[in-house]
Amino acid sequence: MIQARLQLARGAFTLDVDLALPGRGVSVLFGASGCGKTTVLRALAGLVRARGRVALGDEIWQNDACARFVPTHERALGYVIQEAALFPHLNVRGNLDYGRKRAGHTAPADGHAVDLAQVIELLGIAPLLARRTATLSGGERQRVAIARALATQPRLLLMDEPLAALDAGRKAEVLPYLDRLQAELRLPIVYVSHAIEEVAQLADHLVLMDAGRVLAAGPLAQLLGRLDLPLPVGEEASVVLTGRIGARDAPWRLARLDVHAADGAVDCSLWSRDPGLPLGRVVRVRVLARDVSLTRSAQTDTSIANQLQGTVEALADDATHPALALVRVRVRASAIVARLSWRSAQALALQPGMPVWAQVKTVALLE
Amino acid sequence: MSAADWSAVRITAALAFITTVLLLLVGTPLAWRLARSRSRLKPLWASLVAMPLVLPPSVLGFYLLLAMGPQGAVGQLTQALGLGRLPFTFAGLVVGSVLYSLPFVVQPLQQAFEGIAEPLLEAAATLRARPLDRFFSIALPLARPGFVTASVLGFAHTVGEFGVVLMIGGNIPDRTRVLSVAIYDHVEASEFDDAHRLAAGMVAFALLVLMSLYIVNRPRAERGGWAGAQP
């Protein structure tokens, strides 16, 4: 459990947040530029001195009530920023050793130590160890910076838009490594981002920030399904569902994803292009609201294979255009959001509590 | 060259060497503080350090002479400590040279330190490096070109000083008589051949020093965006 109560005033900007983040998985601080998410991360690291209290589990890093402030270099954390900040006078190996040597005495004794060899393998940087940092590509620099942070045996990994400086290709190169990291290492990560794609792929817990305040916080699926939040997602309104690969239709190269609720019961099944992953593998899918349409009865003469029976739960304006509505449909324990015009919504006489069929044209597999 | 001239060369070299070492010891923390300071008084400190650049050396020498004299604050201190008086001694020359060459050492160091990106020092802190450790493991190696420039300029500038030396060192053979003063004496005595030998040697020395500086501090082509400042 990571707890932080932070207050800071700087010119016209004021930060006032009270956070309780889970002690495992990825928590994403999400919001537009200037909302204070980086300041929160820097305050967690002790790089910025805000007023308040910061605690990681039973370890108190800051508590103004008893004048306690642990300096950054005594906090067992890893910190990765957009520009990587590799030391130019050391090669890759030297960068990795820098923190590892200094952190030797603070390594956790409780068995979930990070194995540097494993990290080097996970991040695919073994061939780079003897290289000078100036010769690395952006994606390589970022992977080295992540490994360097992990080599200090942190109890918490803080990442400030680690992909923002990379182009789409390099992003796609680093994202899977991040995915593997959080799957393999039992290390809580606090991740700052303004990109919904990264949120959809990485987040377990989402904190939505605006103008120095927390607008909402909770599990990812729950927050994305809320229609009352001004999520800065533009055309990309969506929900993220977690499921298992339950079956495949080999001749047609399709796979069935069984979406399950928190208790493991299957909520619904979705067919998608076969990603070639083994049966039973847990995957995350993103369903964009613009790919979902609604009908009042099951359709037989349609090309859309995924029809989910559910109940209309809420309707709201879509921020992108006044003609558009977002409709949340409850499918057992899961929620799906559809985007349609208000005219269609009225033609179907949609209202909360009404049974509908959600037609899902396509889903995006995230791992 | 006469024995007296060789003695002047030796004294000059010793003075420049000792001055440079002292200046690096004093100038490094001073430059670091100036580079990291966000104080409103920073322009005042920077101006004080730069004063010897614009003051006539005779002005500096005059005030040093007063300060180090029997009635001066420094003079009373050195006498109380049993060190005697500094004017017209080698130690006095060192004190004057340190002050006179201060900006030539502090400014390149300050620029080099200012060129070190803050995120690198923050990264070092998140990698468990204490403040002093960050200075020695990150700031010093990245400021290396600044140290080369500072050492060479401090040394060369001390070799070339004249006014301060004349004011507080006098012209005592084998003790405070340095090269620049020896050249002046030769010219006064119309010994142009002797003056030529020393003066041409100085010209060659200056050229050699500056060339080696530019060669050592040549920017490496592959140096990335985080490198220290160039001189």
Task: Please tell me which residue of chain A has the smallest CA distance to B133.
Answer: A102
The Cα–Cα gap between B24 and B9 comes to 23
The H or E element spanning position A282 is strand A282-288
- The predicted pLDDT at position A227 comes to 86
Of B127, B141, B227, the CB nearest to A148: B127
Residues A75-108 have pLDDT tens digits of 999 999 998 899 999 999 999 999 999 987 555 5
The Cα–Cα gap between A234 and B229 comes to 42
Other beta carbons within 10 angstroms of residue B130's beta carbon come to 16
| Cβ distance of B142 and A135 shorter than 8 Å | no
Q: β-strands A306-317, A292-295: how paired?
A: unpaired
pLDDT class of A208 with cuts at 50, 70, 90: very high
Q: Is B193 on the interface with A (CB under 8 A)?
A: no
Is the CATH number 3.50.30.40 carried by domain A2-224?
Answer: no
Alpha helical stretches, state H, A76-115? 92-103
The Cα–Cα gap between A249 and B18 comes to 84
Nearest CA distance, A98 vs chain B (angstrom): 7
Q: β-strands A355-360, A213-219: how paired?
A: unpaired
List of chain A residues whose C-beta atoms are within 8 Å of the C-beta of residue B128: 73-74, 99, 102-103, 106, 152
The Cα–Cα gap between B92 and B99 comes to 11
In order, the DSSP letters of A129-192 are: TTSBGGGS-HHHHHHHHHHHHHTT--SEEEEESTTTTS-HHHHHHHHHHHHHHHHHS---EEEE
Q: β-strands A189-193, A26-30: how paired?
A: parallel
Residues A303-327 have pLDDT tens digits of 998 999 999 999 999 888 999 999 9
Q: Is B1 on the interface with A (CB under 8 A)?
A: no
Other beta carbons within 10 angstroms of residue A289's beta carbon come to 24
Q: Is B128 on the interface with A (CB under 8 A)?
A: yes
Nearest CA distance, A114 vs chain B (angstrom): 15
| Average pLDDT for chain A | 90
The Cα–Cα gap between B105 and B101 comes to 7
Given a contact cutoff of 8 angstroms between Cβ atoms, the answer to whether A7 and A51 are in contact is yes
User: C-alpha distances in angstroms, A164 versus A134, A174, A191, B117?
Assistant: 19, 11, 12, 19
The gap from C-alpha A81 to its chain's centroid, in whole angstroms, comes to 16
DSSP code of residue A291? G
A6-10, A192-196, A233-237: least confidently modelled range: A233-237
Q: Is B122 on the interface with A (CB under 8 A)?
A: yes
CATH code matching the domain that covers A238-365, chosen among 1.10.600.10, 3.30.499.10, 2.40.50.100, 2.60.120.10: 2.40.50.100
- The predicted pLDDT at position B222 comes to 38
pLDDT class of A119 with cuts at 50, 70, 90: confident
CB pairs under 8 A between A and B: 70
Is the CATH number 3.30.465.10 carried by domain B3-216?
Answer: no
**Residue ranges of chain A whose CB lies within 8 Å of a chain B CB:** 45, 47, 71-75, 77-79, 81, 83, 85-89, 98-99, 102-103, 106, 132-135, 148-149, 152
The H or E element spanning position A240 is strand A238-249
Sketch the domain layout of chain A as residue ranges.
2-224, 238-365
| Cβ distance of B125 and A102 shorter than 8 Å | no
Q: Which residues of chain B have pLDDT under 50?
A: 221-231
| Cβ distance of A88 and B142 shorter than 8 Å | yes
pLDDT class of A112 with cuts at 50, 70, 90: low
Cα atoms in the Cβ-side hemisphere of radius 13 Å centred on A356: 27
Q: Is residue A165 predicted with pLDDT exceeding 60?
A: yes
Q: Which residue from A302, A300, A318, A358 is spatially nearest to A334, judged by alpha carbons?
A: A358
Tokens 């992953």: give the residue: A277
- The predicted pLDDT at position B220 comes to 59
The Cα–Cα gap between B170 and B173 comes to 9
| Cβ distance of A103 and B127 shorter than 8 Å | yes
- pTM (two decimals): 0.85
Q: Which residue from A42, A36, A38, A40 is spatially nearest to A21, judged by alpha carbons?
A: A40
pLDDT class of A109 with cuts at 50, 70, 90: low
| Cβ distance of B224 and A88 shorter than 8 Å | yes
Of B127, B131, B227, the CB nearest to A98: B127
Given a contact cutoff of 8 angstroms between Cβ atoms, the answer to whether B106 and B191 are in contact is no
pLDDT class of A275 with cuts at 50, 70, 90: confident
Q: Is residue A362 predicted with pLDDT exceeding 50?
A: yes
Q: Which two tokens stand for residue B209?
A: 């020093």
Looking at this predicted complex, what is its ipTM?
0.85
Sketch the domain layout of chain B as residue ranges.
3-216
A4-18, A33-47, A171-185, B64-78: least confidently modelled range: A171-185
- The predicted pLDDT at position A105 comes to 55
pLDDT class of A53 with cuts at 50, 70, 90: very high
Q: Angle at which helices B42-54 and B90-114 pack, to 10 degrees?
A: 130
| Cβ distance of B119 and A83 shorter than 8 Å | yes
